[in-house]
Structure 1
Amino acid sequence: MSVVFSMAAFALAASITPGPVNIVALGSGARFGFKASLRHVGGATLGFTLLLVLTGLGLHELLRQWPFLSRGIGLFGVAFLLFMAWKLASDDGRLDADDEARAPSAWSGALMQWLNPKAWLACVAGMGAFAGDGEVHRVWLFAGVYFVICYLSIASWAYAGGFLRHCLSNPPGMRLFNRSMALLLVASAAYLLI
């Protein structure tokens, strides 16, 4: 049972800390509400879990042999973060019904995980620690534990954003919040380029 506890502690530490996916969940919760943000939460969780399983089954070895793939993923990740930052920064801050404004999709949540170096690092480090000997049942056990904790962690950020929604009901306040979130995404992107 102690290995499951260790897996859970690792998953919580990696999932609950700030990062691009959590920042988008917070912003989505504030802009669109908790319920509408659950698509992003679910997509990000499924995307991460798939990445974790594939890493445990050998994807990390492929990337080690072809490092240019890792660099390409990182550059696409930076571009995606900058795109999301631009979308946040250009939002007008109105919370009224806008037919064109939509919460981030499940697809964008999953894509963010695949382009997120923090997610790749968590996958490689976690699988190295808990399934490094190649035991397939350990890969699946870790993925199951991580799935639950990842979902709850990202959902907590979306919930916090939903809570903030009540405080940010005026357009100037929402614009300030969105631009702050955009700056955090740009900072994440800049950090990835270092």
Structure 2
Amino acid sequence: MMFWFIPLVIFLAVAIFSPGPNNVIAMSVGFNYGFKRVIPHLLAVVVGFSIMLFVVGIGIKELILKYQSAFEVMKYLCSFYLLYLAYKIATSKPNLNTNEAKPITFKESLLFQVINPKSWIAALSIVTIYLPKDNFLAALFITIIISDILIVLAISTWAVLGKSFNKIFKSEKTTKIFNFSMAILLVVSVLMILFVE
């Protein structure tokens, strides 16, 4: 049956485009440093989620489902890391020289993908709910490609939106307000990770 990918694409689009840590980070970096400086984060999200989806798909799902305590550890690691990123965003100073500024690096972003429990839950949901049993490996690779395309579109959209806001709000004061707002959004996402089941 060829219609398995329709509900999958709907799920992926909602999960990937909706406001969340990766998109908030992309918007913040786009606002403060421009689109080019978002590319390491974008690549880290693509690489991290692709590997995660592949690993879950080829068999680690049983292990993850068996050891629920691992999710709890990942949840708290992710939360502390996001709070650290929120602090960095909130306290970052407006810097007109974007060549000297230092947004999130590829390594930092990749580390976040590894410990992000929401990404693991999304990968588990995809593998256990949306993928067909027949031609499973082919479906898994198609899903990885679709998710990569959607991630590139989503991160790019949020980054461009951030850059557009920068053109509107150019003063140091409005930049600080924007950064603080993005930090608050990250803190809200942490609270959702911790307290929303």
Q: Which range is displaced more, 67-76 or 124-133?
A: 124-133
SS for the counterpart of 2:178 is: helix
Counterpart mapping for 1:94-113 below 5 A: 94-97=95-98, 99=100, 101-113=101-113
Cα distance between partner residues in 2 of 1:91 and 1:115:
24
Work out whether residues 23 and 185 of structure 1, in 8 Å CA contact, stay in contact via their aligned partners in 2. yes
Point out where structure 1 has 5 or more consecutive residues left out of the alignment.
none
Match of 1:193 in 2: 194
Question: Aligned-pair distance for 1:156?
Answer: 1.0
Work out whether residues 75 and 117 of structure 2, in 8 Å CA contact, stay in contact via their aligned partners in 1. yes
Cα distance between partner residues in 1 of 2:165 and 2:92:
17
User: Given residue 5 of structure 2, which amino acid in structure 1 is its aligned partner?
Assistant: V
Question: Aligned-pair distance for 1:96?
Answer: 3.1
SS for the counterpart of 1:45 is: helix
Cα distance between partner residues in 1 of 2:98 and 2:30:
15
User: Given residue 58 of structure 1, which amino acid in structure 2 is its aligned partner?
Assistant: G
Q: Does 1:118 align with 2:107?
A: no
TM-score, structure 2 length as denominator? 0.90
Q: Which range is displaced more, 126-135 or 113-122?
A: 126-135
Cα distance between partner residues in 1 of 2:64 and 2:87:
30
Cα distance between partner residues in 2 of 1:54 and 1:97:
37
User: Given residue 176 of structure 1, which amino acid in structure 2 is its aligned partner?
Assistant: I
Runs of at least 4 residues off by over 6 Å: none
Match of 1:159 in 2: 160
Q: Does 1:67 align with 2:100?
A: no
Match of 2:130 in 1: 130
Cα distance between partner residues in 2 of 1:77 and 1:142:
25
Match of 1:84 in 2: 85
User: Given residue 104 of structure 2, which amino acid in structure 1 is its aligned partner?
Assistant: P
Work out whether residues 78 and 115 of structure 2, in 8 Å CA contact, stay in contact via their aligned partners in 1. yes
User: Given residue 16 of structure 1, which amino acid in structure 2 is its aligned partner?
Assistant: F
The structure-2 alpha-carbon separation of the partners of 1:83 and 1:132, relative to structure 1 and needing over 3 Å to count, comes to: farther
Cα distance between partner residues in 2 of 1:32 and 1:4:
36
Question: Aligned-pair distance for 1:81?
Answer: 0.2
CA-to-aligned-CA distance 1:74-130 (integer Å, 9 cap, x gap): 11100110000010111122333473x312222222222222222122111111123
Q: Work out the number of aligned pairs and report it.
A: 193
TM-align CA RMSD: 1.8
Match of 1:17 in 2: 18
Question: Aligned-pair distance for 1:52?
Answer: 1.1
The structure-2 alpha-carbon separation of the partners of 1:113 and 1:132, relative to structure 1 and needing over 3 Å to count, comes to: farther
Cα distance between partner residues in 1 of 2:92 and 2:74:
27
User: Given residue 111 of structure 1, which amino acid in structure 2 is its aligned partner?
Assistant: L
Cα distance between partner residues in 2 of 1:22 and 1:108:
15
TM-score, structure 1 length as denominator? 0.91
Work out whether residues 29 and 38 of structure 2, in 8 Å CA contact, stay in contact via their aligned partners in 1. yes
Point out where structure 2 has 5 or more consecutive residues left out of the alignment.
none
Work out whether residues 4 and 131 of structure 2, in 8 Å CA contact, stay in contact via their aligned partners in 1. no
User: Given residue 84 of structure 2, which amino acid in structure 1 is its aligned partner?
Assistant: F
